Structure 1
Amino acid sequence: MVIGGTDAAVVSEKLARVQERVRAAAERAGRDPAGIRIVGVTKTLPPDASAAVEAAWAAGLRDFGENRVQDAAKKVTSLFASVLDSGATLHLIGHLQTNKARDAVRLFSLIHSVDRPGLVDALQRRAEREGKRQDILLQVNVAREEQKHGCAPEDAEALLRHAAAQPNLHVLGLMTIAPLVDDPEETRPVFAALRTLRDQLQEATGIVLPELSMGMTNDYEVAIEEGATIIRVGRAIFG
Structure 2
Amino acid sequence: MSSMETLNDSGAAYLRLVQQMHKGLAAAGRSADSAFLTAVSKTQPWEVVEPVLRAGHRRFGENRVQEARERWEPVRDDWAGLELRLIGPLQSNKAGEAVAFFDVIETVDRDKIARALADEIQRQGRRPVTYVQVNIGEEEQKAGILPAEADGFIRECRDVFGLEVEGLMCIPPVEGPRGPYFGLLRKIAERNGVGHLSMGMSDDFEAALAFGANEIRVGTAIFGVR
Q: TM-score, normalised by structure 2?
A: 0.91
1:223 corresponds in structure 2 to 208
In 1, Cα distance between equivalents of 2:40 and 2:136: 22
Shift of 1:82: 2.4
8 Å CA contact retained: 2:24, 2:206:
yes
* Residues 151-195 of structure 1, C-alpha deviations (whole Å, 9 max, x = no match): 0112111211121236763211101001123x6xx1111111100
Shift of 1:44: 2.5
Shift of 1:81: 5.2
Shift of 1:52: 3.4
RMSD: 2.0
In 2, Cα distance between equivalents of 1:201 and 1:168: 15
Residue 111 (structure 2) pairs with residue 126 (structure 1) = no
1:80 and 1:235, CA in 2 relative to 1: closer, same or farther beyond 3 A?
A: farther
- Gap regions ≥5 residues in structure 1: 203-208
Moved more, 57-66 or 218-227: 57-66
Q: TM-score, normalised by structure 1?
A: 0.87
8 Å CA contact retained: 2:114, 2:161:
no
In 1, Cα distance between equivalents of 2:197 and 2:191: 14
Question: Which residue among 54, 61, 70 is the counterpart of 2:57?
Answer: 61
Q: How does 1:33-72 map to 2 (within 5 A)?
A: 33-46=32-45, 49=46, 51-72=47-68
In 1, Cα distance between equivalents of 2:172 and 2:195: 20
The letter of the residue matching 1:87 is G
What is the number of equivalent residue pairs in this alignment? 223
Tell me the percent identity: 38
* Residues 37-86 of structure 1, C-alpha deviations (whole Å, 9 max, x = no match): 1001111223xx1x533321232322101011121121122465522xx1
1:167 and 1:116, CA in 2 relative to 1: closer, same or farther beyond 3 A?
A: closer
Q: How does 1:1-239 map to 2 (within 5 A)?
A: 6-8=6-8, 10-46=9-45, 49=46, 51-78=47-74, 80=76, 82-83=78-79, 86-165=80-159, 169-181=163-175, 186-202=177-193, 209-239=194-224
In 2, Cα distance between equivalents of 1:87 and 1:115: 28
1:167 and 1:98, CA in 2 relative to 1: closer, same or farther beyond 3 A?
A: closer
SS at match of 2:33: helix
- Gap regions ≥5 residues in structure 2: none
Shift of 1:3: 8.4
Moved more, 72-81 or 118-127: 72-81
1:3 and 1:76, CA in 2 relative to 1: closer, same or farther beyond 3 A?
A: farther
In 2, Cα distance between equivalents of 1:79 and 1:220: 29
In 2, Cα distance between equivalents of 1:69 and 1:17: 29
